Chains A and B, each alone.
Chain A
Amino acid sequence: MKRFGSVHQKMNEMDEKEIFLMHLHLMIVMIKASLKGYPAGEFRKAAALDTASIVHKLISNIDLSFLGLKTSSHLFRERVKLLSVMAAAIVSEDYPLGIHRREAVRDNIEIITEYAFPNKQIELFHEVLRVA
């Protein structure tokens, strides 16, 4: 039997914070994948739009004290909301994405990642995104 997930000693039911971070992580992955030109099929595109909408909803009410933000949590919330709107626009391919807008998306991802995933590298599973 293969095993995935947390180590035995840290097993627990997932709380709101972990669920939010998982969706946020996924949203960053899907934006990065879109910017790198990975194809998004019908199912993946619909799932990405769902994720953007879930993140937008979750960030509105979640208590962000667990992040230990040094700046205003309002600013972080607005950044995440903006990223979710950007994600929906990028994935749906309804709007042109010029060089400046791309740069703005990358900057926003960088700042959000710094606060939400300070010790984590957001990696892309290339084979999964290309093949599966």
Chain B
Amino acid sequence: MTYCVNREVKSFDNGRLAWEYIHTGGEVDIVISDADMPEMNGFELMEKFKEKYPDKTFILMSGVSDDERKSQIAGADAFLAKPFEINDLFAIVQCFVVD
């Protein structure tokens, strides 16, 4: 999936590992996170990320319809509803990287 953007893409098995990377100075421009993750869920990760980088982009994805409203309230820049297609990932790159 990382083909969609010609940049280095880091992936992590859970929110805590992602946060450890970000918190310890790992460079990041955009985060795409599942809402449902072990140890630290997507909402918790977004709260911490936005506190540190309010101007950077955070996209939450979920297959649970209630998470869409929760994402909006919590301040996500975008919501990616599962199941999604590859065109949705290209559209995200178009929107947040190209434009």
Contacts and interface: CB of A to CB of B under 8 A. Distances in A.
14 contacts: A1-B71, A3-B68, A4-B80, A5-B84, A6-B83, A8-B68, A11-B64, A25-B85, A40-B6, A43-B2, A44-B6, A51-B3, A128-B94, A132-B98
A131 B98 contact: yes
Main secondary structure of the interface of B (DSSP, over half): mixed
Contacts, number: 120
Contacts of A43: 2, 5-9
A94 interface: no
B5 A132 contact: yes
Given A3-B78, A8-B65, A14 B83 contact: yes
A26 B89 CA distance: 10
Interface string B72-99: 1000111111111111101111110110
Contact of A11 (B9, B82, B88): B82
B79 A1 contact: yes
Contact of B84 (A6, A47, A127, A131): A6
Interface of A: 1-8, 10-15, 18, 22-23, 25-26, 29-30, 40-44, 47-48, 50-51, 123, 125, 127-128, 131-132
A127 B95 CA distance: 11
Interface in B22-79: 61-65, 68, 71-72, 76-79
B97 to A, nearest CB: 4
Contacts of B6: 40-44, 132
Given A30-B3, A128-B94, A128-B97, 6 more contacts: A3-B79, A13-B82, A43-B5, A43-B8, A128-B98, A132-B6
B2 to A, nearest CB: 4
